[in-house]
Structure 1
Amino acid sequence: MHYARIQAQMETQRMQKELLYQRAYDEAVGVVVQGQQVVNLKPEKPMFSSSEARLPASGGSGRLALFVASDCAPCVQKANALQQSNTPFDIYVVGSEGDDSKVRSWARSAGIEPEKVRSRQITLNHDEGRWAELQESSDANLGTDLPLALRFANGKWVLQ
């Protein structure tokens, strides 16, 4: 008990000193940056991760991105055509609301082969607002109809 009390006193003193230093540091940062924001805490999420927008070393096209909706017959037809052609592609289910069961249900109803998903020839993804962001981008006249098939080429997304 004696040593526990000594440690408690030492830790309390250490924490008080650390808090005093942190307050002094915060004040110094405020003087140095003069009211500017030091850290942007808003998460900057890229439109597509580097693995989704793979560009081969040769500078050619990346993987195909196919945006689909759960109640879209042409989306199923497009996915099936791509699947039959053995084209590697990434499916983004618009409106899945982060619910994996909606993505899996769409894939089952569309006849997506599980082996192609396991081998990552086809990936199943939540849209997470990407389609809307693409619609709003000034350099992409994509229309509003699904399915939407895009490929990353020459530094931008191109309709396929």
Structure 2
Amino acid sequence: MVRFMTLSLLLFPIYLLPGSGWSAPATVETQKQSSEQVQLQQARSAAQAKAWGLTDDEWAKFERLQSGPRQYWSPQLDPLTTLGVEADSDQERQRYAELQVRLEAKRAERELAYQKAYTAAWTRLFPGLVPVQGMSDAVTLSSNPRYAVFVEDPCSTCEASLRRWLSTSARLDVYLVGSQGDDARIQQWARKVGITPVQVNSGQVTLNHDRGRWFALGASRPLPARFQQVEGKWQRLD
């Protein structure tokens, strides 16, 4: 009996003692998975930084900014605008502005090239129908003309100008530059400047994503920019 009890005491501690060697394989596997996840995230961040023309350190700064108050002030703001707004010097601010101009110019070039291909395809496939032309149909010369207005956010001058133009009952097609196709962002901006559902539903105001149109017109800062189509040509008014 004594021998049996001794053997039992020797066997059971293998399963009861905490921190035994049996847990080591699971720990090693967890550490491996964690290391792979870190490497994958680093690779993704590096790819995103490259796509925006930024260094790894600049992308890390953007992520830090997006985890702070900026995410509440300007949700879904693009990296270049975020870094430009939060720049620590005029030199930094200029760098991000130039990066954004070049990137948006390339985007506009691609979108215009596709628009040309689309128009050619429509003409070939449906020669008897007129396609929707977008902005070129939106503004025509009449006794009560419409204006194409290009704005950005944040931009206090844009907000003040919109309020002034709306007070005259002007008909406006508003294009938010850098909206990234985010409808919620345009709607939030519209509420901020006082555009009402009545004005939108009546057709007095339309809210649109810029999608490179501003660059297609050869426009330049500062914004806002107000255009009118006269005899088939776009003219900047102010």
Q: Same fold (TM over 0.5)?
A: yes
Give the structure with the larger helix fraction.
Answer: 2
Give the alignment's TM-score, normalised by structure 1. 0.62
Quick one: distance in 2 between partners of 1:131 and 1:79?
17
Report the counterpart of residue 157 of structure 1 in structure 2: 234
Within the candidate set 222, 225, 228, 1:145 is matched to 222
Quick one: distance in 1 between partners of 2:155 and 2:181?
18
* Cα displacement string for residues 131-159 of structure 1 (whole angstroms, at most 9, x for unaligned residues): 01112xxxxxx432110000111221111
Aligned residues: 111
SS state at 1:145 partner: coil
Question: Which residue identity lines up with residue 48 of structure 1 in the other structure?
Answer: M
| Structure 1 stretches lacking a partner, 5+ long | 1-40, 136-141
| Alpha-carbon distance change, 153 to 67 in structure 1, aligned in 2, over 3 angstroms | same
1:73 maps to 2:165: no
| Alpha-carbon distance change, 61 to 121 in structure 1, aligned in 2, over 3 angstroms | closer
**How far 1:54 moved relative to its partner?**
3.0
1:88 maps to 2:171: yes
Give the alignment's TM-score, normalised by structure 2. 0.43
Contact 1:67–1:146 (8 Å) recurs in 2: yes
CA RMSD of aligned residues (A): 2.3
Q: Residues 5-16 of structure 1: matches in 2 within 5 Å?
A: none
Report the counterpart of residue 22 of structure 1 in structure 2: none
Which 4+ runs in 1 deviate beyond 3 A? 44-47
**How far 1:70 moved relative to its partner?**
1.4
* Cα displacement string for residues 70-89 of structure 1 (whole angstroms, at most 9, x for unaligned residues): 11111111110111010111
How many percent of aligned residue pairs carry the same amino acid?
A: 35
Which structure: larger Rg? 2
